[in-house]
Every structure is written in structure tokens, then in C-alpha cells.
Amino acid sequence: MRTLFLAGTLSVFSTFCVAQTYDVVILNGRVMDPETGFDQIANVGISNGWITAITDEDIDGREAIDATGHIVAPGFIDLEQHGLDPWGIKVNLRDGVTTQMDFEVGAANIDEWYAARQGATQANYGTVVGQEFARMRVHDGLVLEGGDIDFRNFFALRAQSVEDGVEGWSSVPSNREQMNEITAQLDEGLRLGALGVGSTIGYAREGITTYEMFEAQRAAARYGRLTSVHHRFHPSASTPTETQTGVNEILVNAMVLDAPLHIHHDNDYGWWENQEKLQMARDQGYNVWSSYYPWTAGSGNYGASICLTSAPMGQFRSI
């Protein structure tokens, strides 16, 4: 059974429709919406790009898609999508990911970042302001101009930051003036429309003090937005640096700030403890959650099946 993904939530349910002709109708599919629990054979009417009817009545459209034997569902949202070049966006759309965002690394120059994508990106998009980029400016003197300061230049910028022999963003703690400047840059990104603050503290655990992390989360909290974190001890199962300690740090911050929190790739040994704490916090009304790698170890590579569909077996090598 294949799935047809819709960009948006299936939030309009009806048992009757005023007679009209829709732009697009999706007929006879199994319509499923995890948020509401809706699950039945139905017809979907779309007008002006919006889902305006979900019904068991007959409906007509200028374009009709027969979804018999298929699932019709909202598009998936990926909060840790690093492959945001045009090819990566197309591949993810084929997986049903209609909202593709990198909430771990994020971006700098948020207004320019959005402007570069307006009208030019197939998927829904958004970003967080990257704590790491702010630290690169303050501790490594990197200028970081333009609308492409994001994961695409991530590793090149890391290499540039260490040309003087000191990877400042990662290893140098901030004094008060430096921390204030970093926080000001995060605030400016939030003011310009970043959806939150992204932190890679797990790669900068010697440089980012607990108080600087607290201030980063407080900056996002002032706007009612999330902090999305690759936490301090991912991955580690060695006492006293096990992964739960890194989760505890940012979870406590989120709770005392009453601020949203997203924890990246909670796949480490002890994930069950983290999940129990997150569930208990949600039961108390806190907006805290986590996400997982969709693979068991490592990452996708050029041996992935999508890269092999037009090539003889063995032509590509994994790297």
C-alpha cells in the first residue's frame, strides 16, 4: 500500500459538502491523520492549495487522483534534515517529507537565509539561529556573510575556524562580554524570524559553559520558541558523562524557563530514562520532546538504493 502525502494537516473533516468543483480531488483513499486519529476511506477536496473538504460524499475536481488502495496522509516533518540542497529536497519529498528543516545546525543571517529560499524551494522550510555560528564569529573572528551560512558550509567553516591552531567556537569558554555578544546574535536571529535556537553543544562541551547554554535557552524562551539541541554528552554511556546527564542539563533549563525543547537523536544507551523524564514533564504541561535517527548506526551513503536505481550493482562504492 503506497502513501500519498499532503503538505499540511488534515484538519478539515466533514460528512457533507456543498456542491462545488475543487481544483484537485483525491478519491477513495484511506485518509489518515495521526494528530486527530482520523482513519477511514474518504475523498479529499483541495482548492487554492488548501484542503477544504474530507468527506464520504462524491465530489468533483478539475483534476482527479484515484487513491484506491493507497493511504492519504499529511506530509512528514523532519527537524534534522541536513540535505537541503535541491537534490536532497527532491529525495526527501519522495519519502513524503514535505517540511524539511535543520534544527540542529541552523543558520546565520536569518533574513537573508529566508530571502534566498522564497519562491525557490519545493518543500516547506524554516530554520533556527545557530549557536555555533555565533560562537565562530565571537571566538574565531569569522565574518559569516550571506544567505548560505548553514550546513552547506558547516565543515568548511569548522576547518577555517581552526586555521590559527585554536578551534575557539568549540574549546574556548566565553567571558561575560563574549557571552553577551553571542546571546545578542541569537536574539537578533530570533527577531528576524528564526523558529528557535539550534545548539551543537555536544561538539563544544569544553567551550560552552552550563550558564551560556542556559542563556541560549533563555533567549529562545523570551520569544516563546524552542531550543533544539545535540546535547553535551551524545553519545556516551560512561559514568559520569552518560547521555542522560546531557539531557538533564537542557531539560532542567527548559522546565525552569517553561520553554519548548527538542532533543536530537536520543538513540544512546539510556534513552529509556530520557523518555520517561520527557513524558513526566509533558504530563506536567511542559512542551519537551525528542527525535531519533531513522537508522541503527552511521548514516546514509552513496550505496543507498535511490542512488543505485540507474546503475549496475557495484558501480558505486560507499564512502
Model pLDDT for residues 178-192, shown as the tens digit of each residue: 999 999 999 999 999
- pLDDT of 111 > 80? The answer is yes
Strands (E), the chain: 3-6, 21-33, 38-47, 50-55, 60-66, 71-74, 76-78, 97-100, 102-107, 127-130, 196-199, 226-229, 261-263, 288-290
What confidence tens digit (pLDDT) does each residue in 134-183 have?
999 999 999 999 999 999 999 999 999 999 999 999 999 999 999 999 99
Query: In the predicted model, is pLDDT for residue 88 greater than 70?
Result: yes
Contact (CB, 8 A) for 171 and 137: no
Average predicted confidence (pLDDT) for the chain: 89
Angle between helices 154-161 and 131-140 (to 10 degrees): 30
Res 191: pLDDT = 98
Please give the model's pTM, rounded to 2 decimal places.
Answer: 0.83
Give the model's confidence band at 195: pLDDT under 50 very low, under 70 low, under 90 confident, else very high: very high
- Tell me how far apart the alpha carbons of residues 248 and 270 are, in angstroms, rounded to a whole number: 12
Residue 293: predicted pLDDT: 75
At residue 193, the pLDDT reads 98
At what angle are helices 176-191 and 210-222 packed, to 10 degrees? 30
- Residue 4: what pLDDT? 62
- What percentage of the chain exceeds 90 in pLDDT? 77
Of residues 163 and 304, the one with the higher pLDDT is: 163
The pLDDT, as a whole number, for residue 34 is: 85
First to last CA, the chain: 33
pLDDT in tens, 41-68: 999 999 998 999 999 999 999 999 999 9
Tell me how far apart the alpha carbons of residues 263 and 250 are, in angstroms, rounded to a whole number: 9
**Is pLDDT of 107 > 50?**
yes
Least confident of 94-103, 191-200, 287-296: 287-296
Least confident of 15-19, 80-84, 107-111, 228-232: 15-19
Residue 35 banded pLDDT, cuts 50, 70, 90: confident
pLDDT at 187: 98
Would you state the pLDDT for residue 311? 40
